[in-house]
Structure 1
Amino acid sequence: MRGEILFLAHRVPFPPDRGDKIRSHHVLKALAEIAPVHVGCLAENSTDITNEHRLAEVAASWCMSRRSKPLPVAGVEALLRGQPVSLTAFRSEALSQWVNQLLAERDIGAIYVFSGQMGQYVPRDWQGRLLVDLVDVDSAKFEAFAEAGRGPRSWIDAREGKLLRGVEAELAKRADATLLVSEAEADLLRKRVPTPDRIRALRNGIDCAAFDPKAVEPEQALASGGPHYVFTGQMDYAPNIDAVRRMTNAIMPGVLSKLPSAQFHIVGRAPTREVMALDGVNNTRVVGEVPDTRPWLAGADIVVAPLTIARGVQNKVLEAMAMARPVIVSPDAATGIEAKSGRHFIVASNDAAFVEELLRLSNDSGTARALGHSARQFVLDTMSWPAMLSDLPRLLGLEQVAPRDAA
């Protein structure tokens, strides 16, 4: 690669406080150490707008277009055009014009597409280096939604999965490298597209300095009573909604039969009506959005991730492990994390296993503490962001490169 880099992301990579933003944030910082980076992204709310100035910390220039198209409008447009809703919902004429002008005026040698929705902004005649970071195989996720659902929603999800599969195949064909968050996701995509040879994993890392239990005061609400179990995540996201409903309705009753003082805390922004309805049920508390999830992780006796549908690597699990918490996860939530069950975390295969492990660790603080310490050491040893992104220069066509000042 010669020249500068265009970075296209479906969300503003600031602040790094949710899974996709965490990954895009660290990828962007790493790219900015290689060459000047121009950022095209979409803003969803006022918080995104207030963080626009932070793009100046890493970007030579940027365009942040407001994503204001209502989802029903995007759905109708998608039906008329025969496209996935995911593409029409993230379509911005202003951003498209900015990209075309940038490519005409600047010496752009590579485009890094973060999330498949942004592939639509890469001109068909683009001849430079193209990296496509799909993160997860979204088509497979929608297929799973369709299988688990029913009625019109199931049909919508099935349509989305089918169309996204075509988009993913086309992007994989065009890209010099197609990146997924884990080897499992990379293998899945290889089986689903006709050109599997340039697909590889680029794993997520963790900021171990930020997620350090020694640097965080535990949440006072968790200081007494309990044991306290915590789930963190974006609470308008369907897999997270299903996970907390499962924890409240299927797992907590078994725990409460032996530990009637146990409490389950749901921590995360934008809880839906379904999630809010869980407040008070089986000692569940819906905390909602908090300024910082780390105190809640630090104060938790056990962190849980009982997801039944999960793609890629769960940042919520890595964060809890970095905070030296004992973590109990479903097999789906453990995907892509090369830790060992029983040593670094606990994988519980069903509801009964979750109940059994929650009771065991709740009644054995020594084992729980040792599991947490082992979890943090695993993350420190194997999953720092610099280590995860060290291959970016080679992927950009640079065998050797001297770091530059991102400012």
Structure 2
Amino acid sequence: MKQPLLYLCHRIPYPPNKGDKIRSFNQLAYLSKEFDVYLGCFVDEPSDMAYTKKLSQYVKGMYVLPLNKRHATFRGVLKMGRKQPITLPYYFDPKMAQWVNNTIANFAIRDVLVYCSSMAQYVDSPQYQKLNRVIDFVDLDSDKWRQYSKNKNFPMSWVYNREFRTLLAYEQQLTEQFDASVFISSNEVELFCELSGISSHSRVHAISNGVDLDYFDPAKVAPMSSSENTPTVVFTGAMDYWANVDAVRWFVKHVWPYVTKQVKQAKLLIVGSNPSDKIRELDAFANIEVTGRVDDIRSYIQTGWVSIAPMRIARGIQNKVLEAMAMEVPVVATSLAMEGLTTTQGCNLTIEDNEQLFANAVVARLKQRKTAPENRQWVIKNYRWEEQLHHLKDLLKSP
């Protein structure tokens, strides 16, 4: 008989088409083989409610609540007088709290996995201290808010700095209360311990992301025929996410003019859901295409002669880098985009922060197209989901 497991996610873990959902879905799929999973989550995109049927094959029970972003934002602002992160009232719903209480009582829950700090509020009270509670912070979100605060003007710089301070304090509190805490890389662990002043790492663990190598397999998909012979640069990611928007706009402003001067037929593909207005306006350029959401991202990655990750704000591990490498595509990235990854020696990958050197690296890939099978071999060796998640399973197996 499987042990019951309560799994709390701030966002429905499907479809696995963006950073947090990729990790949460793969956790769910893996853990469902070992546990009877009871999933509690929110849906912030109404169309995602259609995926509850797909998720039912992985869970014993499920509670999915719609999240009205406007109402959630109002709740967060309304509670700013409290010394807590805005994300806590944003993701609080008494109906979710009642479901959590009932599920723990009715199904003899002993193990709890919390995905992201905003969901920990449902099990952080003293009444649950006897449970085996594990929290996956994923990235050090507090530091992401710190980075945001340095790139915004007042009053948003103040709001983001407040979120940094209050969230860091809450992250530290949870690390002390819970049986184990997880981050996506050892870099995140080290930074958290440095910022929070925690001296012992014994209950703080690094569990990386992986890649679905059966899906991201260049042998199973062909590049788009319309662009196959065009020197193409590809960027993938959720295009309403500020860090992605900032990265693309920096690349277009500071790097792309030099690239197109050297390779006149070059094309930039910006591939990802919900492009913001600042991204949509780039579609007006003759040599730039903004796709919006696509059904199969693999053919777009495969079309790229080079994949870019020019991140200037980042935490954790960039799935866009791992997926491109799994598809045997060369990569050019900034150092921030590569934080948390193991050494990439021998890969077709260049790390540059200087805009001219970044451009030179892109141009070199566009002047002579080469696939990068060494990139896929590196991913196979270091980033299989099964190997990454084995440690998480061990943390959740209560005596």
Could you tell me the TM-score, scaled by structure 2's length? 0.94
> Helix, strand or coil for the counterpart of 1:132?
strand
Aligned residue for 2:134?
131
Aligned residue for 2:92?
91
Q: Indicate yes or no: 2:33 matched with 1:33.
A: yes
Q: Does the 8 Å contact 2:110/2:398 carry over to 1? A: no
> Helix, strand or coil for the counterpart of 2:64?
strand
Aligned residue for 1:149?
152
Deviation at 1:328, TM superposition (A): 0.7
Aligned CA distance change for structure 1 residues 190 and 344 (closer, same or farther; 3 Å)? farther
1:169-188 counterparts in 2 under 5 A? 169-188=172-191
Q: C-alpha deviations, 1:171-213, integer Å up to 9, x for none? A: 1111111100111011111112344431110110100110001
Cα distance in 1, alignment partners of residues 298 and 47 from structure 2? 20
Equivalent position to 1:192, from 178, 195, 203: 195
Q: Indicate yes or no: 2:176 matched with 1:162.
A: no
Q: Indicate yes or no: 2:262 matched with 1:261.
A: no
Q: Does the 8 Å contact 1:223/1:299 carry over to 2? A: yes
Q: Indicate yes or no: 2:104 matched with 1:103.
A: yes
1:379-394 counterparts in 2 under 5 A? 379-394=379-394
Aligned residue for 1:240?
244
Cα distance in 2, alignment partners of residues 83 and 77 from structure 1? 12
Q: Does the 8 Å contact 1:235/1:272 carry over to 2? A: yes
Q: Does the 8 Å contact 1:43/1:66 carry over to 2? A: yes
Amino acid at match of 1:170: Q
Q: Does the 8 Å contact 2:79/2:89 carry over to 1? A: yes
Q: Indicate yes or no: 2:310 matched with 1:309.
A: no
Aligned residue for 2:224?
219
Cα distance in 2, alignment partners of residues 286 and 111 from structure 1? 40
Cα distance in 2, alignment partners of residues 398 and 94 from structure 1? 27
- Structure 2, unmatched stretches of 5+, are none
Q: Does the 8 Å contact 1:317/1:327 carry over to 2? A: yes
Q: Indicate yes or no: 2:121 matched with 1:120.
A: yes
Deviation at 1:360, TM superposition (A): 1.3
Aligned CA distance change for structure 1 residues 292 and 74 (closer, same or farther; 3 Å)? farther
Deviation at 1:69, TM superposition (A): 4.3
Cα distance in 1, alignment partners of residues 226 and 158 from structure 2? 43
Q: Does the 8 Å contact 1:9/1:41 carry over to 2? A: yes
Cα distance in 1, alignment partners of residues 169 and 391 from structure 2? 28
> Helix, strand or coil for the counterpart of 1:191?
helix
Q: C-alpha deviations, 1:232-278, integer Å up to 9, x for none? A: 00001110000110111110011112112111111101111111122
Amino acid at match of 1:9: C
Q: Indicate yes or no: 2:2 matched with 1:14.
A: no
Q: C-alpha deviations, 1:54-102, integer Å up to 9, x for none? A: 2211111111011114154133223143432212221122111100111
> Helix, strand or coil for the counterpart of 2:92?
coil
Cα distance in 1, alignment partners of residues 195 and 88 from structure 2? 20
Cα distance in 1, alignment partners of residues 347 and 274 from structure 2? 34
> Helix, strand or coil for the counterpart of 1:6?
strand
Aligned residue for 1:205?
210
Q: Does the 8 Å contact 1:339/1:345 carry over to 2? A: no
Aligned structure 1 segments of 4 or more residues deviating by more than 4 angstroms: none
Q: C-alpha deviations, 1:120-149, integer Å up to 9, x for none? A: 111412111010000000010000110121
Q: Does the 8 Å contact 1:3/1:107 carry over to 2? A: no
> Helix, strand or coil for the counterpart of 2:171?
helix
Amino acid at match of 1:114: Y
Equivalent position to 1:326, from 321, 324, 330: 330
Q: Does the 8 Å contact 2:266/2:366 carry over to 1? A: no
Cα distance in 2, alignment partners of residues 212 and 103 from structure 1? 40
Aligned residue for 2:254?
250
Q: Does the 8 Å contact 2:183/2:206 carry over to 1? A: yes
Amino acid at match of 1:83: Q
Amino acid at match of 1:375: N
Q: Does the 8 Å contact 2:73/2:90 carry over to 1? A: no
Q: Does the 8 Å contact 1:267/1:290 carry over to 2? A: yes
Cα distance in 1, alignment partners of residues 378 and 180 from structure 2? 29
* Identity value in percent: 32
Q: C-alpha deviations, 1:11-60, integer Å up to 9, x for none? A: 11111111111111111122222221110000112222000112211111
Instruction: Supply the RMSD in Å over aligned alpha carbons.
Output: 1.7
Aligned residue for 1:357?
361
Cα distance in 1, alignment partners of residues 398 and 379 from structure 2? 28
Aligned CA distance change for structure 1 residues 72 and 112 (closer, same or farther; 3 Å)? closer
